[in-house]
Amino acid sequence: MPDHNNTIIKLDGVRKSFGAVHALSGVDLEIRIGEALGIVGHNGAGKSTLMHILAGSLQADTGSISIHDAAPVEGYGIAEAQAAGIRTVFQELSLCPNLTVAENTRIMNPEIKGFNWRSRASRQILDKLDEIFPGHGISANAYVGDLPIAKRQMVEISRAFTSISTPLNLVILDEPTSSLDAIVSEQLLTYVRKFTEAGGSCILISHLLNEILTTTNRIIVMQDGKVVDERATSRFDRDSLVEAMGSVAEHEENGDHAGKVRTREAEPILSVQPNETAGDMVMEIYPGEIVGLAGLSGHGQTETLVDIFLDKRKAGGKSRLPMALVAGDRQVDGIFPLWSIGKNISIASHGEFVRFGLIDHDQEKQLADSWKDKIGIQTPDLENNILSLSGGNQQKALFARALGSTAEMILMDDPMRGVDIGTKQEVYGLLRQEAAQGRTFIWYTTEMNELEHCDHIYVFREGNIVANLTRNELTEQKVLHASFEGG
């Protein structure tokens, strides 16, 4: 079936790592002329990294990229992608808000210049908008910053399809419908079908499986930076697709700790309703539990954690519990980059060792030292700067900060991002140990296998809780079904 004369771009053994995290671990991919390729996979499967490599905005560590069956391109980058006629609509909007719709079109098309360029750019983008989204109601002179998000996305998609002199071979759409309503989404998908019938190619990434199933010819399933399944779309249906996304973890699931479930007794120490308006499910947290928050990223889990931390949106339970938060984005929200490791650990506990308004340094050092051993931070000296540690060890220091405080409840915002597997195992053990001693954990994670360490799991979608599972009810299938559209 693979006829090598009609390949647009071919990836061979492409790998990409960010520090200890392997975002892509050996991807082979071939995109053919006139095909609509769907890519699905859970968070962190490597889809977006793959798109960035195709767009040239990230460079692969190893592996080769070739275009139209020519020899592999050395140093494939943005210019090469553009020359090959590849355009990308990234997940995060990338228009300039201070420019008009027409001016943004000019940024994408260097050919539009010289006398009267403005009216030519306007015509380009308006023609495309009319073609893809009839009745869009967008003016070419409107400033992008003034447009509502859906219209911005429409402009960005249409802009990707404008082309002046280089032929447009492949358009990559990464979650293009995330802020479009159903009617406009359908307009886009119709256009994608038309575009591919006319000989263009398209890559569609979407969490809405129906879109993938109705629009594409071929689907690849990604997991942990690898392509784990690839079939013609006709050979997939909704259930088999969900199954393919979860296949690996299913095999590993007969874990050792899956058996025992804590029985919920007495009163919850906290109950939270993330979305008060929508007669939504209530999340209940009992002392000594590890509660997992699941679902696709950006569906309200972090917001809920922050709200709990700030004591907002509480439906009942005791108020003002001593709490600590372990941040996920440690560079932004976690570490104090100029401070030593010891200071980074003890900052949350300063209140305990203040004497006569001054900090008792001996006690402070004691606390840091004891946690260095307990959690196994690999450093010769806690006086070293925090940045001298590897990412995983920095995260350990942040765990030590939270666990070393007197907090009874610890909130964790996907703290294992970019942490190597060895560190993860150590921290999992520590969490279970601390929970057994009566501490309560609320743990937002995007990694399916981490949910197996939780006593109770709440799945979030669009800011609401859509499923409530105990540990022995937990299967990856159920979480996936709940995370993706209503099913």
Partner 1 sequence: MEGLLNPRLMRNLLPAFSLTILLILIFYIQPRTMSYLGLNLLLNLALPIAFATLAQMCVMTVNDLDLGIGSFVGFVACVGATFLRDTPAIGILILLGCVGVYAGLGALIHQRNLPSIVVTLGMSFVWLGLALLVLPTPGGKAPDWARAIMTWKTPMVPFTIYASIFVALAVHFLLMRSAYGVVLRGAGGNPRSVERAGWSLLRIKMAMYALAGFFGILSGIALIGLTTSADANIALRYTLLSIAGAILGGGEFVGGRISPIGAVIGATTLTLAGSFLSFLRISPDWQIGAQGGILIIVLALRVLINRMEAK
Question: Helix, strand or coil for residue 230?
Answer: strand
- CA-closest candidate to residue 353, choices 337, 328, 370: 370
- Asked if 119 interacts with partner 1 (CB under 8 A), we say no
461, 482 contact by CB (below 8 A): yes
Instruction: Give the pair of three-digit tokens for residue 265.
Output: 């007794």
Single out the residue of 28, 69, 127, 146 in contact with partner 1 (rule: CB under 8 A): 146
Residue 118 or residue 432: which is nearer to partner 1 going by CB?
118
- What is the spatial distance between Cα 105 and Cα 126, in angstroms, rounded to a whole number? 10
**CB nearer to partner 1: pick between 144 and 221:** 144
Lay out the site mask for partner 1 across 67-106 (x = CB under 8 A, - = otherwise). Answer: -----------xx--x-----x-x---xxxxxx---xx-x
Which residue, 119 or 234, is less far from partner 1 as judged by CB? 119
Restricted to residues 229-248, the positions that interact with partner 1 (CB under 8 A) are none
Strand 283-285 relative to strand 86-89: parallel, antiparallel, unpaired? unpaired
Residue 100 sits at the vertex; the CA angle it makes with 149 and 174, to the nearest 5 degrees, is 40
Classify strands 464-470 and 456-461 as parallel, antiparallel or unpaired: antiparallel
Report in angstroms how near the CB of residue 96 gets to partner 1 at its nearest: 3
> Rounded to whole angstroms, what are the CA distances from 383 to 188, 278, 352, 390, 483?
57, 50, 21, 15, 44
CA distances from 187 to 37, 177, 219, 344 (A): 18, 10, 21, 52
- Least distance to partner 1 from the beta carbon of 156, Å? 9
Of 481, 482, 458, the closest CA to residue 468 belongs to 458
Minimum CB distance to partner 1 smaller for 93 or for 347: 93
Residue pair 406/375 in contact (Cβ under 8 Å)? The answer is no
3-state SS class at 8: strand
User: 98 or 240, CB closer to partner 1?
Assistant: 98
Chain-centroid distance, C-alpha 15:
19
Q: Is 322 in the site for partner 1 (CB under 8 A)?
A: no
- Contact stretch for partner 1 (CB under 8 A) within 113-121, 147-155, 222-230, 322-330: 113-121
Binding flag, residue 50, partner 1 (CB under 8 A): no
Which lies closer to partner 1 via its Cβ, residue 141 or residue 378? 141
Q: List the x/- string, 427-446, binding to partner 1 by CB under 8 A.
A: --------------------
Provide the minimum distance between the beta carbon of 170 and partner 1 in the complex, in angstroms, as a whole number.
Answer: 15
Does 388 help bind partner 1 (rule: CB under 8 A)? no
Q: What beta strand segments (E) does 349-474 contain?
A: 354-355, 358-359, 409-413, 440-444, 456-461, 464-470
CB of 451 vs partner 1, minimal distance in Å: 33
Q: Is 110 in the site for partner 1 (CB under 8 A)?
A: yes
Among 64, 143, 238, 307, binds partner 1 (CB under 8 A): 143
| Alpha helices per DSSP H over 310-390 | 341-346, 361-375
**CB-nearer residue toward partner 1: 7 or 109:** 109
Residue 112 is a binding residue for partner 1 (CB under 8 A): yes
Q: Token pair for residue 82? A: 């553009």
Q: What is the x/- site pattern for partner 1, positions 324-363, by CB under 8 A?
A: ----------------------------------------
Identity of the residue, 90 or 371, whose beta carbon is nearer to partner 1 in the bound complex:
90
Output the smallest distance, CB 223 to partner 1, in A: 27
Judged by CB, which is closer to partner 1: 99, or 248? Answer: 99
In the complex, minimum distance from the CB of residue 92 to partner 1, in angstroms, rounded to a whole number: 9
Dihedral angle of Cα 311, 266, 415, 224, to the nearest 10 degrees: -130
At its nearest, how many Å lie between partner 1 and the CB of residue 141?
Answer: 11
Smallest separation (angstroms) from partner 1 to the CB of 292:
33
Q: Hunting for tokens 């090959």 — which residue is that? A: 84
Binding string to partner 1 for residues 55 to 74, with x set by CB under 8 A, is what? x-x-----------------
Stretch that binds partner 1, among 15-23, 114-122, 201-209, 300-308 (CB under 8 A): 114-122
Q: Judged by CB under 8 A, how many residues of this single chain contact partner 1?
A: 26
User: Which residues, at least 6 apart from 439, have a Cβ–Cβ distance to it below 8 Å?
Assistant: 288, 403, 407, 408, 409, 410
Q: Toward partner 1, which CB reaches closer, 146 or 383? A: 146
Alpha-carbon span 481 to 305, nearest angstrom: 23
**Site for partner 1 contains 117 (CB under 8 A):** yes
335-358 per-residue burial string, b: 16 or more CB within 10 A, e: under 16: beeeebbbbbbbebbeeebeeeee
212 φ, ψ to 5°?
-65, -45
Binding residues (CB under 8 A) for partner 1: these are: 55, 57, 78-79, 82, 88, 90, 94-99, 103-104, 106-108, 110, 112-114, 117-118, 143, 146
